[in-house]
Amino acid sequence: MAKVVECQLCKRKCRLREGERGDCRVRLNLDGKLQTLVYGKPCSVHIDPIEKKPLFHVLPATGSFSIATAGCNLHCKFCQNWQISQRAPEETENYDLPPERVVEQAIKNRCQSIAYTYSDPIIFYEYMLDTAKLAKQHKLLNLMITAGYIEQKPLLELCPYIDAANVDLKGITEEYYQKMCSAELQPVLDCNITMRKQGVWVELTNLVVPTWNDKEEDIRKLCRWVVNNLGPDVPLHFSRFWPQHQLKNLPPTPIGTLTMAWEIARQEGIHYTYVGNVPGHDGNNTFCPTDKKLLIRRIGYSILENNIVDGRCKFCQTKIPGIWKIENRG
Amino acid sequence: MKKSEKYIIILIGVATVIVMGVIYENTLSVLRPPSAKIMIDVEKVKKEIRQAGLAPQEGMHWKELP
């Protein structure tokens, strides 16, 4: 009799009969074993500025070798990468790029980090883990850009190899996660707390979607959760929504709403808060939480001015948390 | 009996047979034993994976269910 397997990578715990595929589209039961279809088979390979992830407190103005496979364990209505995340690997054009070649290419292109990104690297867990182990041996940083929908056991096994992560904190209610992403909030909150405890540098992104999660009370609740559970030094990026995928009927997020969110975050005590997808906004810049001076001036993903020296504000010497050099993780 | 009346009776008869058929199939689908499931053609799945140039590898973090 054919064996049934249960995937334990994420909260969905897909139970798969022989030949059946998990919700993420890339893990299936073949010959009584759970198998991944995307090991060494990325469909997206780019070199991005690290600020694009967005990671504003990690190796500024450096390139990150970025990879992703098809599939995702969430189904967000607003997904900007839906052409690969909501596809099976048979539907995408894939490269043949085993872990050793990822590292080789990253070094060849003078990247200081490898980013596991675009779709969600949780679903290409094995590929990410093996690549990250090799990358660490070659003194490359490992960056995980994720929705954080992962069980604790695989997360704890991964953390020693991940230097920094940008985690989407899409909303602060279970209802939002269920309706917008067909997922649950609590595993994401747990993921953030665990990563912080394990010493991973975490930055958060909240995509502000008009009429869905743009109310002042929701933003304030989100900010308070961040301060109370992760601390005021975790950077929070508010990102502008653009009509995509299943939400083409909505307008882009008004800049005023993003400015409101940015100001609420500062009122609630978050030291480093940013506005994304709005070039030229003051929220592109980093300010010292002590003397309020401008530390890093950015326009889009470009750095115009950097007043952080040896990880400190050059004016008042306040330590600015982040990974400013390869050899330190602060 | 007029010709038109005959046709109406035939039409009603055919409609009744169709409706009875729908009721019968719907009842069967409710009463069908739970073991009746969608069959997956595993060999077809493997063939499609190969044709797509994919190479399945055993994953981590899973368990076999009893």
Which pLDDT belongs to residue B36?
59
With an 8 Å Cβ cutoff, is B35 touching chain A?
no
What angle, rounded to 10 degrees, do the helices at A255-267 and A216-229 form?
40
Q: Minimal Cα distance from A32: which residue of B?
A: B64
With an 8 Å Cβ cutoff, is B34 touching chain A?
no
Q: Minimal Cα distance from B50: which residue of A?
A: A90
Q: Does residue A179 carry a pLDDT above 80?
A: yes
**A160-174: average pLDDT:** 98
Do the Cβ atoms of B65 and A3 come within 8 Å? yes
Tell whether A308 is covered by a domain: no
With an 8 Å Cβ cutoff, is B42 touching chain A?
yes
SS (H, E, C) chain A: CCCEEEECCCCCCCEECCCCECCCCCEEEECCEEEECCCCCCCEEEEEEHHHCCCCCECCCCEEEEEECCCCCCCCCCCCCHHHHCCCHHHCCCCCCCHHHHHHHHHHCCCCEEEECCCCHHHHHHHHHHHHHHHHHCCCEEEEEECCCCCHHHHHHHHHHCCEEEEECCCCCHHHHHHHHCCCCHHHHHHHHHHHHCCCEEEEEEEECCCCCCCHHHHHHHHHHHHHHCCCCCCEEEEECCCCCCCCCCCCCCHHHHHHHHHHHHHCCCCCEEEECCCCCHHHCEECCCCCCEEEEEECCEEEEECEECCEECCCCCECCCECCCCCCC
With an 8 Å Cβ cutoff, is B38 touching chain A?
no
Tell whether A165 is covered by a domain: yes
Which pLDDT belongs to residue B33?
65
Distance CA A102, CA A44 (A): 12
Residues of A in contact with B52 (CB under 8 A): 89-90
pLDDT averaged over every residue in chain A: 96
Do the Cβ atoms of A35 and B56 come within 8 Å? yes
Which pLDDT belongs to residue A1?
63
Tell whether A17 is covered by a domain: no
Q: Minimal Cα distance from B58: which residue of A?
A: A35
By C-alpha distance, which of A54, A64, A330, A60 is closest to A201?
A: A330
Tell whether A261 is covered by a domain: yes
Tell whether A315 is covered by a domain: no
**B48-53: average pLDDT:** 94
Q: Minimal Cα distance from B64: which residue of A?
A: A5
Q: How many residues does chain B have?
A: 66
Q: What percent of chain B has pLDDT over 90?
A: 73
Which pLDDT belongs to residue A330?
40
Which pLDDT belongs to residue B2?
87
pLDDT in tens, A116-156: 999 999 999 999 999 999 999 999 999 999 999 999 999 99
Which pLDDT belongs to residue A326?
82
Which pLDDT belongs to residue B35?
61
- Count how many pairs of residues, chain A against chain B, have C-beta atoms within 8 Å: 84
**A217-221: average pLDDT:** 97
Do the Cβ atoms of B45 and A6 come within 8 Å? no
Find the CATH number of the domain harbouring A72. 3.20.20.70
Which pLDDT belongs to residue A70?
98
Question: Are the C-beta atoms of residues A2 and B43 closer than 8 Å to each other?
Answer: no
**A41-51: average pLDDT:** 98
Closest CB to B58: pick one of A6, A35, A153.
Answer: A35
pLDDT in tens, A302-319: 999 999 999 999 999 999
With an 8 Å Cβ cutoff, is B62 touching chain A?
yes
Residue written as token pair 């981590």: B60
* pLDDT band at A64; cut points 50, 70, 90: very high
| Shortest Cα–Cα distance, A162 to chain B (Å) | 18
Task: Give this complex's ipTM.
Answer: 0.91
With an 8 Å Cβ cutoff, is B39 touching chain A?
no
Residues of B in contact with A154 (CB under 8 A): 60-61
Q: Does residue B34 carry a pLDDT above 70?
A: no
Number of domains chain A is built from: 1
Question: What are the boundaries of each domain within chain B?
Answer: 1-29
Q: Does residue A52 carry a pLDDT above 70?
A: yes
Q: Minimal Cα distance from A15: which residue of B?
A: B65
Q: How many residues does chain A have?
A: 330
* pLDDT band at A329; cut points 50, 70, 90: very low
Q: Which domain holds residue A197?
A: 38-286
